[in-house]
C-alpha cells in the first residue's frame, strides 16, 4: 500500500518537526498538519519563518524547503482527516489534573477527541498512527471508538512513539537510534506496518526500523523515558553524596561511564530534570503499575520522581542557607529558564520550582534566558498558583540582557546550560555584583578555577 496523503493532528513540539522531516524526505506525499490552535498554525505559516512556534536548530531550513510544496499547516481538521490515508495523532497527553488518577495518569481526553473526530469524518479506510505517548493498551480504546461508527470504514491502529529530544529534534529525526512501529499481527496489520516502514525507509536504514506488537511499542516509550530519567536521578543522588565527601560528581560520572556496560551518556548531574515528558511518563508508568496491583514496581519507579523533587528543593535550600539564612529582599539572578539548552520550552523546568521556593522566602528574582519570553515565564509561575499574578510580577523581573540581569545581584544561579553563559565576561559581572559574590551553578557549567580566581564564591552541584 502506497501512502499519498498524510494528516497529522497536533502541530506541537512533536507534530511540527516530525512532519516537517517526513515531508522533506517524502516529497511525493502530501502532509497536512492541523491544530485547533489558530495562533500556532499562523506561526507555522509565518512568511519569513522568524516566528515559528518552536525553536529547534535546523527546523527553519526544513520548513522552508517543504512548506507549500508538500507540507501544509491549517486548522481545518475535518478536511485533512477526510483526505488522508494515514492519520498521525500527535496531541498532548498531560498528567490528569482532576478525577480518578489525578496527578498521575495521562489525560487522554485530547486523544479520545481525535479518535471520535476521525470516526465521524472518515469515509474511506485509514491507518491511524499513535504518535503521542500513551499508556499501554490505549490502542484498544482508540480501536473501540473507531470500530463502532457503523460506517463500514476499516481502521488499522499503529503505535509509533517519538523519541526525539528537544533542542536536538531535527538531528534526532534525521538520524534516530531506532524507529519503533507496533501493529496488529494480522495480514491487514502487517500491511499497515509496511506502509509506515516505507515512509521512514526513505532516509532511515531498514535495520533501524523495529516492528513489534502494539503493546510492546506503547510500553517501550514509557520505559525508555523511565530509564533515562532514572539515570539522571541516580547521578543526582550521588551528587549529594559527593558534596559531603569531597568527591566530584563529574569525575565519578566519567569513571563509571567508561565502563561500557554503563556507558557515558545521561550521567550529567543537574539541578533536576525537567521537560514535558520525563515526569509525566514516569507518573503514568507508576499509575499503570498500581492499576495492576504491582505496588513494588510502582514504588520503585516513583523514587525517580522523589529524588528529582529533592534535587530541586535542596538547590534552593542551599542558596538560602549560604546567603546567611535569608534571601528576603535580595536580588537573585537566574541565568536560564528553559528546561535544557537550545529550546524555548519551559515545561516542568527546574527553574520554575527553584524560583517558587525562593519567592516563598521573599527573594527578588531577575531572570535572563536567551530564548524564553517574559510572557512564558509569568505563565509558568501563575500556573503553580502559589501566589497572585500581581505578586509574581512584583517578585520576579525578566530582562533581555545578561549583564543587566546580574547587575547589583546578591547571587547568580545557573539553571540552564546555555553555551553563551560560558562566554560571558565574568570579571565584568563580578565588578557589578554585591560582595561577597555568590554563584550557584546548577549545571556545573563554569570553570571553577577561573571563577574562583576572579573572586566569586562558587557552589556547583556535586562538588
Ligand atoms: N515534546 C517532546 O519532546 C516529545 C517527545 C516525544 C513524545 N512526545 C509526546 O508527543 C505528544 C505531543 O507532545 P507535544 O510536546 O508535541 O505537545 P504540544 O502541546 O506541543 O502539542 C500538541 C498540540 O495538539 C493540539 N491539539 C490538542 N487537541 C487537539 C485536537 N483535538 N485537534 C487538533 N489539535 C489538537 C494542541 O493545540 C497542541 O498544539 C505527547 O503525548 C508527548 O508526550 C513529546
Ligand atoms: O545527563 C543528563 C541528561 C539530561 N538531564 C536533564 O533531563 C531533562 C530531559 O532532557 P532530555 O532527555 O535531553 O530532553 P527531552 O526533550 O525531555 O527528551 C526526553 O523526553 C522526550 C519526550 O518523551 C523523549 O522523546 C526523549 O527521547 C527524551 O530524551 C532536561 O532537563 C535535562 O537537562 C540531566 O539533568 N542530565
List the chain pLDDT tens, one digit each, 463 residues: 899 999 999 999 999 999 999 999 999 999 999 999 999 999 999 998 988 999 899 999 999 999 999 999 999 999 999 999 999 999 999 999 999 999 999 999 999 999 999 999 999 999 999 999 999 999 999 999 999 887 889 999 999 999 999 999 999 999 999 999 999 999 999 999 999 999 999 999 999 999 999 999 999 999 999 999 999 999 999 999 999 999 999 999 999 999 999 999 999 999 999 999 999 999 999 999 999 999 999 999 999 999 999 999 999 999 999 999 999 999 999 999 999 999 889 999 999 999 999 999 999 999 999 999 999 999 999 999 999 999 999 999 999 999 999 999 999 999 999 999 999 999 999 999 999 999 999 999 999 999 999 999 999 999 9
Binding site membership of 25 for ligand 2 (Cβ less than 6 Å): no
**pLDDT at res. 149:** 80
Instruction: Please tell me the residue having the least CA distance from ligand 2 atom 5.
Output: 273
Give the dihedral sign, CA 131/135/136/141: negative
Alpha-carbon distances of 170 from 35, 57, 175, 273, 341, rounded to whole Å: 21, 7, 8, 21, 15
261 annotated ligand-binding residue? yes
Backbone angles phi, psi at 8, to 5 degrees: -120, 120
Crossing angle (nearest 10°) for helices 138-147 and 109-121: 30
Grid cell, residue 42, equals 499562523
Question: Left if phi > 0, otherwise alpha if psi is -120 to 50, otherwise beta: which for 321?
Answer: alpha
Closest ligand 1 atom to 117 CA: 31
34, 11 Cβ separation under 8 angstroms:
yes
Instruction: Please tell me the residue having the least CA distance from ligand 1 atom 6.
Output: 162
**pLDDT at res. 151:** 83
Grid cell, residue 108, equals 487522554
- Active-site residue 277, yes or no? yes
Ligand nearest to the CA of 461: 2
Question: Considering only CA atoms, which of 270, 240, 266 is closest in space to residue 415?
Answer: 270
**pLDDT at res. 375:** 97
Query: With a cut of 0.90, is the ipTM above it?
Result: yes
Rounded Cα distance between 308 and 295, Å, is 20
Alpha-carbon distances of 205 from 27, 78, 93, 159, rounded to whole Å: 18, 34, 30, 19
Do 5-204 and 279-286+298-460 share a fold?
yes
CA of 165 to the centre of ligand 2 (A): 6
Contacts of 79 (CB under 8 A, 6+ apart): none
Decide the pairing of beta strands 411-414 and 331-335. parallel
Burial of residue 219 (CB within 10 Å: 0-12, 13-18, 19+) is buried
371, 344 Cβ separation under 8 angstroms:
yes
**pLDDT at res. 55:** 87
CATH class in words for 5-204: alpha beta
Domain ranges of the chain: 5-204, 279-286+298-460
CA of 313 to the centre of ligand 1 (A): 29
Which protein residues are within 6 Å of ligand 1, measured from CB?
9-15, 34-37, 40, 77, 90-93, 110, 113-114, 132-133, 162, 164, 166, 276-277
**pLDDT at res. 41:** 98
Ligand nearest to the CA of 106: 1
The DSSP 8-state label assigned to residue 206 in this structure reads G
Looking at 3.30.1490.100, 3.40.50.720, 3.60.21.10, 3.10.580.10, the CATH number of the domain 279-286+298-460 comes to 3.40.50.720
Q: What share of the chain is helix, strand, coil (3-state, %, to 5)?
A: 45, 15, 40
Indicate the SS3 state at residue 339.
coil
Rounded Cα distance between 435 and 432, Å, is 9
Residue with cell 472518515: 122
Question: Considering only CA atoms, which of 130, 136, 107 is closest in space to residue 118?
Answer: 130
Indicate the SS3 state at residue 215.
helix
CA-CA-CA-CA torsion for 222, 224, 225, 231, nearest 10 degrees?
A: 140
Rounded Cα distance between 133 and 232, Å, is 21
Binding site membership of 271 for ligand 2 (Cβ less than 6 Å): no
Amino acid at each position: 500500500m502506497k501512502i499519498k496523503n498524510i494528516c497529522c493532528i497536533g502541530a506541537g513540539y512533536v507534530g511540527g518537526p516530525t512532519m516537517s522531516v517526513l515531508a522533506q524526505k517524502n516529497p511525493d506525499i502530501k502532509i497536512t498538519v492541523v491544530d485547533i490552535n489558530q495562533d500556532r498554525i499562523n506561526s507555522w505559516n509565518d512568511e519569513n519563518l522568524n516566528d515559528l512556534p518552536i525553536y529547534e536548530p535546523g527546523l527553519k531550513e526544513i520548513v522552508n524547503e517543504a512548506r507549500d510544496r508538500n507540507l501544509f499547516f491549517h486548522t481545518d481538521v475535518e478536511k485533512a482527516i477526510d483526505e488522508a490515508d494515514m492519520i498521525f495523532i500527535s496531541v498532548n497527553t498531560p498528567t490528569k489534573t482532576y478525577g480518578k488518577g489525578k496527578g498521575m495518569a495521562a489525560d487522554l481526553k485530547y486523544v479520545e477527541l481525535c479518535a471520535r473526530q476521525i470516526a465521524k469524518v472518515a469515509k474511506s479506510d485509514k491507518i491511524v498512527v499513535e504518535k503521542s505517548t500513551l499508556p499501554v493498551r490505549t490502542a484498544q480504546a482508540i480501536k473501540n471508538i473507531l470500530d463502532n461508527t457503523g460506517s463500514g470504514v476499516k481502521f488499522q491502529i499503529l503505535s509509533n512513539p517519538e523519541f526525539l529530544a528537544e533542542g536536538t529534534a531535527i538531528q534526532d529525526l534525521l538520524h534516530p537510534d531506532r524507529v519503533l512501529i507496533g501493529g496488529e499481527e494480522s495480514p491487514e496489520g502487517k500491511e499497515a506496518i509496511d506502509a509506515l516502514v516505507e515512509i521512514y525507509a526513505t532516509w532511515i536504514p531498514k535495520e533501524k526500523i523495529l516492528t513489534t506488537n502494539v503493546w510492546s511499542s506503547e510500553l517501550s516509550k514509557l520505559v525508555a523515558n523511565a530509564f533515562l530519567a532514572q539515570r539522571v536521578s541516580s547521578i543526582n543522588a550521588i551528587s549529594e553524596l559527593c558534596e559531603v565527601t569531597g568527591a566530584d560528581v563529574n569525575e565519578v560520572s566519567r569513571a563509571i561511564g567508561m565502563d561500557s556496560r554503563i556507558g557515558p551518556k545521561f550521567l550529567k548531574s543537574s539541578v533536576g530534570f525537567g521537560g514535558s515528558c520525563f515526569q509525566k511518563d514516569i507518573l503514568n508508568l507508576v499509575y499503570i503499575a498500581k492499576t495492576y496491583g504491582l505496588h513494588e514496581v510502582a514504588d520503585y519507579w516513583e523514587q525517580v520522581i522523589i529524588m528529582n523533587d529533592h534535587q530541586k528543593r535542596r538547590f534552593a535550600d542551599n542558596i538560602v542557607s549560604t546567603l546567611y539564612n535569608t534571601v528576603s529582599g535580595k536580588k537573585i539572578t537566574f541565568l536560564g529558564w528553559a528546561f535544557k539548552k537550545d529550546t524555548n520550552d519551559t515545561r516542568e523546568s527546574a527553574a520554575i520550582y527553584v524560583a517558587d521556593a525562593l519567592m516563598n522566602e521573599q527573594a527578588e528574582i531577575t531572570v535572563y534566558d536567551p530564548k524564553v519570553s517574559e510572557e512564558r515565564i509569568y505563565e509558568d509561575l501563575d500556573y503553580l498558583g502559589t501566589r497572585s499574578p500581581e505578586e509574581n510580577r512584583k517578585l520576579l523581573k525578566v530582562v533581555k540582557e545578561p549583564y543587566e540581569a546580574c547587575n547589583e545581584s546578591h547571587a547568580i544561579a545557573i539553571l540552564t546550560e546555555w553555551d553563551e553563559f560560558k562566554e560571558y565576561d565574568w570579571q565584568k559581572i563580578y565588578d557589578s555584583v554585591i560582595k561577597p559574590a555568590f554563584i550557584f551553578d546548577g549545571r556545573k557549567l563554569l570553570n571553577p578555577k577561573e571563577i574562583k580566581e576572579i573572586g566569586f564564591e562558587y557552589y556547583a552541584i556535586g562538588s
